[in-house]
Structure 1
Amino acid sequence: MARNAHKHAASATHWIALATCMALLGAALFVDFRWAYSSSSFSSSPPSATSAFLSLASNWALEKSGIIVFPDLGSRNESGDQLQEVRAQEDRGPGSDAKEKRDQGPDAKEKRDRGPDRFLSATYADLPAPDMKWEEMPPAPVPRLDGAAIQIDNLLYVFSGYRTLDHVHSHVDVFNFTSNTWGGRFDTPKDMANSHLGMATDGRYVYIVSGQYGPQCRGPVAHTFILDTKTKKWDKMPPLPAPRYAPATQLWRGRLHVMGGGKENRHTPALEHWSIAVKDGKVLEKEWRTEVPIPRGGPHRACVVVDDKLYVIGGQEGDFMAKPGSPIFKCSRRHEVVYGDVYMLDAGMKWKVLPPMPKPDSHIEFSWVVVNNSIIITGGTTEKHPINKRMILVGEVFRFDLDTLKWTVIGKLPYRIKTTIAGFWDGWLYFTSGQRDRGPDNPQPKMVVGDMWRTKLRL
């Protein structure tokens, strides 16, 4: 009897202890679940089934409303700023595929699976545009980036530019629109800039202004030149009051106008506006004259004269700079702001603000033609990706109707590309050269190309 009572007491004690342990374990699991749920936006572990469903539903709703979903690249610490700087250096410059190789590496799947997602406006995507039927033409003799060009009648003169960040061209290639052939190469002066030139023509003489001399991210020079396209002879003009990087340049009312661009460090936007009188390849004044400043400074803009009005379109503030202390002026990324502003200079030398481009656009200095009182612009670059800050290329063809002052998107290029060189002949819109995208699903820049394409343009 006593033994049975003791046995029952021990059994009861055992069950009480077991129940207590189970209760404590349940409480711990409950607290852990609540903590994980409340801090899921800071955790790198896989989301719960509930949070996965909510994320999927949210993504579907946002995609239906025109919002793009990008992975949150900032949710994981990549060993601090040092690794970020190393990767930024790997990705810089024409032809770099370091980013693409990393995207195919062993940690690529983990990056794709990592959450949560970040939602961005669709302005970073391609704009809706009708298809254009493009025909591939003979490529340029050399690939080039940030080159310059002038069309005179059926000839397109294409100047210098980068081949890679470490190699620049110092010659002119000529394309004949009548025969659709390249030929007639000739050299530029030894002290003439190699890229980011300002350039305009009166139909025979080409006026070349400032630009960057040498590879990588060297600063601009103040040198100016005149080319006689009939004789292939070069002459010098008075240097600019200060060096300028990719200034907006155009002939207007008997004067060569140079506006904006980047200052000596390539990054600081310039507002200055200078002009000098020229005629038939001769400079009629000894010094440049100061004119009304441009409302917004910066390089990489289209500058066009139509019906006695001067237009300055797009561009950016800021650009790559030389890395401090680098003996080769190695390029170092800096903050940039791309814009789609449009300004017009009227006869009273007053700037007027016109409707902006459909999206911010830069690197379009020689990407334009004038057709039927409209300005046509091909490609360029738009705002940087707001998370990884990488450049996003433009693949649209824009039209600015000067009768209505309205912008439209009239087509798509074969791929996204910046610093295109455009021409128009016998109803055909041509473009050549530049730096193209990494593929249909990746708008970041990759290869520098010399490809040439054309499409029949009907406005």
Structure 2
Amino acid sequence: MATTTTRFHQKHTSSTKIIIIFFLSLSTFIAIVFIANTIFHSYSSTSLSIASNWIVDNPNTTTITPPQPPLEVKRFLSATFADLPAPQWNWEQMPSAPVPRLDGYAIQILNLFYVFSGYANLDHVHSHVDVYDFTSNKWVERFDTPKEMANSHLGIATDGKRYIYIVSGQYGPQCRGPTAIVFVLDTKTTTWNNLPPLPFPRYAPATQLWRGRLHVMGGSKENRHTPGLDHWSLAVKEGKALEKQWRTEIPIPRGGPHRACIVVNDRLYVIGGQEGDFMPKPGSPIFKCSRRLEVVYGDVYMLDEEMKWKVLPPMPKPNSHIECAWVIVNNSIIITGGTTEKHPVTKRMMLVGEVFQFNLDTMKWSVIGKLPYRVKTTLAGFWDGWLYFTSGQRDRGPDNPQPRKVVGETWRTNLSLS
């Protein structure tokens, strides 16, 4: 009996030891797992922090970025990064235009400045002309445009004496379709007449009267986005067409809208512009504008008696929305404002606040001054030593070059070039 009890006690003791060892092993395993997990998370957090800092210091790396954008990058990118150094000018504010205008158009004939149509805002467009007299510095007249005439994205040119030619453009607000209709305004009688329509409608084509022919080039095609390379011309004289159809000319090297087109010294210049533009949102009953990729450039092309395009030095920076932002002063082309490349981080449109000079004697560009604020689609004129501009869409403030308010303000500064 004693032997049996002893064996039972030994067996019980042995079982107890096994259980204790099991629990000790389990506890040790759990502790090891916990410590390893803690070390792993600590290492991972440190690695992520180092990787994030490395990406901030090296923004061009191909390493995968963390889920949250590295805000530190934005601190190194000034909101005014696109501005170029330029002297400050003294500007004097003159009587504002009767209405604010975006994508308005203008032509100067002697001391009178004819300002056409444009947007009041995306949902409302103007259908009239306002006239400013540079001698009295007053807005002196207003009259309506034809009901069938485009309201924005026009092509516009003049003989400098009496007649103004209005070519194609967008009819209506938002991003509606273009028209191919062409009009001519007799500024002496304030009457309108039709010319043969363009072969195809265009948005904001480069347009000029040169050697007795009305030239129309580039612009955007019917979908409002695809750049056109077409170049047509029509013989005109004293506000009348001498031909029934437009003639095909040498295509422009690079297409797109919102460019300056200038004739000086018997040469035709096309400056700046962009490829692509806003498009109507598919299925929208009001043709609501929808943003697309745009490429702004500063290319300069010239046609002379050889009728071959020549490439000239580009603008100091890419620039668009400058169709009527130019004047000729002392054998120089002066361009005011515009839009440039998108902000590299926000991808928002950036406005231009500089005044550029292209010296036609040296064929060189320079930045000669600053506007009162950054602004696009300015309408510029020059009279009696004064550089004027009116209207457009201005920036959000000195530290924010994004577009905001459509304005009708008129400004002038004394400009003398040697």
Relative to the length of structure 2, the TM-score reads 0.87
Q: CA deviation at 1:237?
A: 0.1
Summarize the Cα distance change of 1:304–1:286 in structure 2 as closer, same or farther, 3 Å threshold.
same
**Hey, what's the Cα distance between the residues in 2 that align with 1:333 and 1:275?**
32
- Tell me the residue number matched to 2:49: 40
Are 2:79 and 2:399, in contact at CA under 8 Å, matched by a contact in 1?
Answer: no
Indicate the SS of the match to 1:344: strand
- Tell me the residue number matched to 1:388: 346
Indicate the SS of the match to 1:31: helix
- Tell me the residue number matched to 2:301: 343
Summarize the Cα distance change of 1:124–1:360 in structure 2 as closer, same or farther, 3 Å threshold.
farther
**Hey, what's the Cα distance between the residues in 2 that align with 1:453 and 1:384?**
27
Are 1:41 and 1:116, in contact at CA under 8 Å, matched by a contact in 2?
Answer: no
For the pair 1:287 / 2:296, whether they are aligned, the reply is no
Deviation per CA, 1:390-437: give whole Å up to 9, x if none: 111111111101111111000111111100000001111111100011
Q: Please tell me the residue identity of whatever aligns with 1:407.
A: W
| Partner of residue 310 from structure 2, selected from 328, 352, 376 | 352
| Partner of residue 204 from structure 2, selected from 241, 246, 250 | 246
Bigger Rg, structure 1 or 2:
2
**Hey, what's the Cα distance between the residues in 2 that align with 1:405 and 1:144?**
33
Q: CA deviation at 1:175?
A: 0.5
Q: CA deviation at 1:332?
A: 0.6
Counterpart mapping for 1:246-395 below 5 A: 246-395=204-353
Cα root mean square deviation, aligned? 2.7
For the pair 1:456 / 2:391, whether they are aligned, the reply is no
For the pair 1:117 / 2:73, whether they are aligned, the reply is yes
**Hey, what's the Cα distance between the residues in 1 that align with 2:310 and 2:276?**
23
Indicate the SS of the match to 2:345: coil
| Partner of residue 385 from structure 2, selected from 406, 427, 432 | 427
Are 2:156 and 2:165, in contact at CA under 8 Å, matched by a contact in 1?
Answer: yes
Indicate the SS of the match to 2:86: coil
Q: Please tell me the residue identity of whatever aligns with 1:386.
A: P
For the pair 1:142 / 2:74, whether they are aligned, the reply is no
- Tell me the residue number matched to 2:118: 161
Q: CA deviation at 1:385?
A: 2.0
Are 1:369 and 1:375, in contact at CA under 8 Å, matched by a contact in 2?
Answer: yes
Deviation per CA, 1:253-286: give whole Å up to 9, x if none: 1100000000111101000000001111111111
Q: How many residues align?
A: 388
**Hey, what's the Cα distance between the residues in 2 that align with 1:445 and 1:76?**
30
Relative to the length of structure 1, the TM-score reads 0.79
Are 2:332 and 2:359, in contact at CA under 8 Å, matched by a contact in 1?
Answer: yes
**Hey, what's the Cα distance between the residues in 2 that align with 1:362 and 1:371?**
21
| Partner of residue 109 from structure 2, selected from 139, 144, 152 | 152
- Tell me the residue number matched to 1:196: 153
Indicate the SS of the match to 1:37: helix
Q: CA deviation at 1:121?
A: 10
Summarize the Cα distance change of 1:167–1:122 in structure 2 as closer, same or farther, 3 Å threshold.
closer
Q: CA deviation at 1:252?
A: 0.5
Q: Please tell me the residue identity of whatever aligns with 2:204.
A: A
For the pair 1:128 / 2:92, whether they are aligned, the reply is no
Q: CA deviation at 1:25?
A: 6.6
Q: Please tell me the residue identity of whatever aligns with 1:178.
A: T
**Hey, what's the Cα distance between the residues in 2 that align with 1:116 and 1:402?**
45
